[in-house]
Amino acid sequence: MAYRRVYCELSWFMKLIEAVVYGSLLGGAYAVIGIGMSLTLGVMEVMNIAHGEIILLSSYLAYQLLLLLGMDPLLSAIPLSLFLLTLGFFLQKYCLSRALKYSVEMFVITTLAISTILENVYLLIWSPMQKALITGYLLWSCEVGGIKVPFVFLLDFFVSIAVLVTLREFLKKTYLGMAIRASSEDWKIAQLMGINTDNIRALTLGLAFLTAGIAGVLIGLTYPFSPSIGKSYMVIAFGIVVLGGLGSMIGTFIGGLIIGLVQVLTATFFDPAWQLFASYLVIFIILALRPKGVLGR
Amino acid sequence: MIRAWQNFPLKKYWPATLMIVILLFIPLIGLSAYMVTFLTLYFIFLSMAEMWNFLAGYGGFFSLGQGAFVGLAGYMLGILTDFGCPTYAALIISSSVSAAFAAVVSKPLFRVKGVYFSVGSLALTEMMRIFFTSWRPPWASPVTWGGAGIPIKAAAYITRIEIYYVALILALISILVVKIALNSKIGLNVIAICDDEDAALSCGMPTFRYKLFLLVICAFFTGLAGATFYLYQGYIEPVSGFGVNWTLIPLMATIIGGLRSVEGPIFGAFISTILYLQLVRYLGLSLILQGVIVILFVFLAPKGLRGLFDKLKKGSGG
């Protein structure tokens, strides 16, 4: 989860432009991390602490598919995200719904336990060493006005926009999406209108897992990953929800951009070791000053 | 003074008093090193569990960031004793730093209600971990700090028996503080805020002050317990100091014993300590097992053993 700049001499101004471009592009990938968290918080009013570990699950499974079958990670993203959709659906329907019925806090505790279990299972299976999805197009880049833009960063940005737009249209236009929005407004009324809210919750967690699956492949292509990094993903997802406010795709996107920009600007102009700390600090400052997000009233 | 002792309800409290007297004298008889270690860890975990129970069970703030207080106090203990501060003063100062830190972060944490507090506190712990992994103070020697952590010098000059007594007193004071706070006006107000904050606020209660008090007390004693643990361990590094296990241990102890009961953690911490000591060599496995136990208790007995016990009693009664 650490942005590293390839060393070359650039003027101060070019460095700034480069940092802004890279930060915005990476911000796209962060928006995909955050959208799942925003969805569960908006509809179910809970946060899934294991969100980061689910993202890592997708990264590790893509790594394993690449290793065993030579399957391209972008290709394996499709079956992986569908697998995670079903996993999320059944996990909520038969397991987590019991905790949620008891109280919201019990849900959070259960997902904390799941996240701890998953992290240590990854440690046992894949060792604490860093892994990466290494593909042929990892080194491609295109040059725009003197700035080299890696292909992977562009991929992050455009795939994330596609995911956000698709999700927005799904929630706005389809019957299922409308049912999800209706239940996020008011549970009881939605139930009275004949919506099976249990299934809606299960579907919401499934959708959050689906976006986590896509995010896992994107982040796996961008950064190396290790079992302990899941918590950082979770904190970034939380930060995006805090920065962007709830229930808007644009807010989520802006939250991703802010975190990406803070991270890359800190790495370029201050010290790469402090990039994650800087983005976390921004999250807490925003939480203290504007608890409803930068766009919120 | 004598009158006060005569009024002491010995009949009601004699098992607890007997237990405390036994625990006070037990190391003098000559206990095996393993037993002393076990009891020391038990007292430390018990104190953490009581405080987490106070914060989560009674206050309704499910903190997942106890590691921030533990790690901060541990680091402060290391720094202070490095500069020649006497051990016991360093213990108190480091836990006060932890409490002050809680007061500072209470503003963003209490800003938004509900799950934001839980996840925000977890995010805070991660932030602290990254800070102590990256930060190198100017006086640092080249081999310590950063990811390598720092040794705690005071650990060399203190005996295991001394730490046992520190931990015992700490556990007793934690239980007493929670008991006294719950019986006083503060405890009632805290419970009222947990049940319905808006109603409490509309009754004219300064809710923020009580929430702040709750968090600061909790941070102080959790920090003290953490500093005692690192005094025993003799070494602190960021990954374990700010780790999630500092949340999981008190959480599991409370969930097993039963949320919202002062007696629950006394039993739950016992199981936590057994698991910790038996599986300390297989850290990954231990954490997996802790996670599984927490999930099982949430699903099968969300009110813990106390709830099960009550159910059993009711079932046999009628």
The pLDDT averaged over each successive group of 10 residues in chain A (297 residues) is 63 85 90 91 89 95 92 91 95 90 88 94 91 83 80 90 93 92 88 90 94 94 91 92 82 91 90 88 88 71
Q: Output b/e per residue, A236-258; b: 16+ Cβ within 10 A.
A: bbbbbbbbbbbbbbebbbbbbbb
pLDDT at residue B316 greater than cutoff 80: no
AA letter at A274: W
Number of CB pairs < 8 Å for A and B? 125
A-chain CB neighbours of B56 within 8 Å are 105
Q: B128-168: per-residue pLDDT in tens?
A: 999 999 888 888 777 778 878 888 888 888 888 899 999 99
How open is the CA angle B168-B173-B178, to the nearest 5 degrees? Answer: 130
Please report the residues numbered 13 through 72 in chain A whose beta carbons come closer than 8 angstroms to any beta carbon of chain B.
Answer: 41, 45-47, 49
pLDDT at A10: 67
pLDDT at B2: 55
pLDDT at B318: 42
pLDDT at B82: 86
pLDDT at B137: 83
B-chain CB neighbours of A238 within 8 Å are 119-120, 123
In angstroms, rounded to a whole number, what is the distance separating the alpha carbons of residues B98 and B219? Answer: 6
In angstroms, rounded to a whole number, what is the distance separating the alpha carbons of residues B34 and B26? Answer: 13
Q: B271-299: per-residue pLDDT in tens?
A: 889 888 887 777 778 889 989 999 999 88
Mean pLDDT in residue range B108-115? 80
pLDDT at B275: 86
Please check whether residue B18 touches A, CB under 8 A. no
C-alpha closest to that of A276 among B61, B161, B123: B123
In angstroms, rounded to a whole number, what is the distance separating the alpha carbons of residues B198 and A49? Answer: 27
Least Cα separation, residue B156 to chain A (angstroms): 32
pLDDT at residue B203 greater than cutoff 50: yes
Residue with structure tokens 């802010």?
A258
pLDDT at residue B28 greater than cutoff 60: yes
pLDDT at A158: 92
A116·B285 Cβ contact <8 A: no
Q: Tokens standing for A185?
A: 């407004």
Q: A94-125: per-residue pLDDT in tens?
A: 989 888 888 888 899 999 999 999 999 999 99
Spell out where chain B has E strands: 150-151, 235-236
A-chain CB neighbours of B287 within 8 Å are 116-117, 119-120
Highest mean pLDDT among A180-194, A236-250, B90-104, B250-264 belongs to: B90-104
B-chain CB neighbours of A239 within 8 Å are 123
Please tell me which residue, A267 or B11, carries the higher pLDDT value.
Answer: A267
DSSP B190: H
Which are the contacts of B242, defined by CB distance < 8 A and separation ≥ 6? B67, B68, B70, B71, B125, B126, B128, B129, B132
B126·A274 Cβ contact <8 A: no
- The answer to whether the beta carbons of residues A96 and A111 sit under 8 Å apart is yes
